[in-house]
Amino acid sequence: MSRNTAPRFIVQQHDPAAARRRLLLVLVLWFLSLALAAFAGWFISLSPASGPDPAEFKRLQAENESLKQRVAVLERADQVDRVASTDLQQTLREREEEIAGLRTDLGFYARLVGGGARREGLSVHSVHVEPIKDSSAWNVIVTLTQNMKRSQASEGRLQLIVEGVANGQLKTLSWSELGAGDADGLVFSFKYFQRVSGTVMLPAGFTPNRIKVVAEATGGGGRVEQGFAWSEAQAAEESSNVQQ
């Protein structure tokens, strides 16, 4: 009795060409992998670093801080220059005003004592009035001059008279009505000039428009009576009391 059994061995025909093709394919794939690895390394070497160089970063940071400090110093210097410029302009304005005042005084002194000045007896050079805040009182400064007797003082008293309007009518206030204190008037004594100051009280509802100075020197030194517009007296420059 016969039995069907599967063959234990398969016989295939040997193909040397196919083996060579497989070996060639493996070699090609291996060379391609090497080429790809080389290309990847070259590409990575050309790519920038993922982060900044620490030394370069520190240098740039230090330079930035230095620039910030320079900007702060320049801003401070600019502020100082502006303040100094403002102060200088204010000082220059004050000096200009002072020089203008000195020139005015110089012209006054030159006319008073200059060799070509006309010889005059007692004279009223100017009057200045200024209100006292929160009151009806006024400060008055009268400048008297004389160059007739240079070696001899001119002495005497002066009184003030104020003309104006009250209740729609003209009214004149005498020295005694101005409440100035000394009934005989303000005392003066000088060789060349003197600024005599006093205070007057104006009644309520009275509007002044003119002030008159009456000055009389003792010993035949002369008498002068001179009027000034009230607005002119208000605009006149105030000066501190000086006696010569």
Least confident range from 25-29, 92-96, 135-139, 231-235: namely 25-29
- pLDDT category at 242 given cuts 50, 70, 90 is very low
The pTM assigned to this predicted structure is 0.53
CB 144 within 8 A of CB 158: yes
Residue 156 confidence (pLDDT): 92
Q: What is the pLDDT of residue 212?
A: 96
177 vs 136: CA distance, rounded Å: 13
Q: What is the pLDDT of residue 140?
A: 94
Identify the CATH number of the domain defined by range 123-235. 2.60.40
**Is 109:94 a contact under the CB 8 Å cutoff?**
no
User: Cα dihedral sign for 143, 192, 219, 124?
Assistant: negative
Amino acid at 92: L
Residue whose token pair is 């801080």: 65
pLDDT at 154: 86
Domain locations in the chain? Answer: 55-117, 123-235
Q: What confidence tier does 157 reach under pLDDT thresholds 50, 70, 90? A: very high
pLDDT single digits (tens) 35-90: 777 777 776 666 555 556 788 878 888 888 888 888 888 888 888 888 888 888 88
Which tokens go with 46?
A: 């050309």
In this prediction, residue 211 has a pLDDT band, given cuts at 50, 70 and 90, of very high
8 A C-beta contact, residue 187 and residue 157: yes
Mean predicted lDDT score pLDDT of the chain: 79
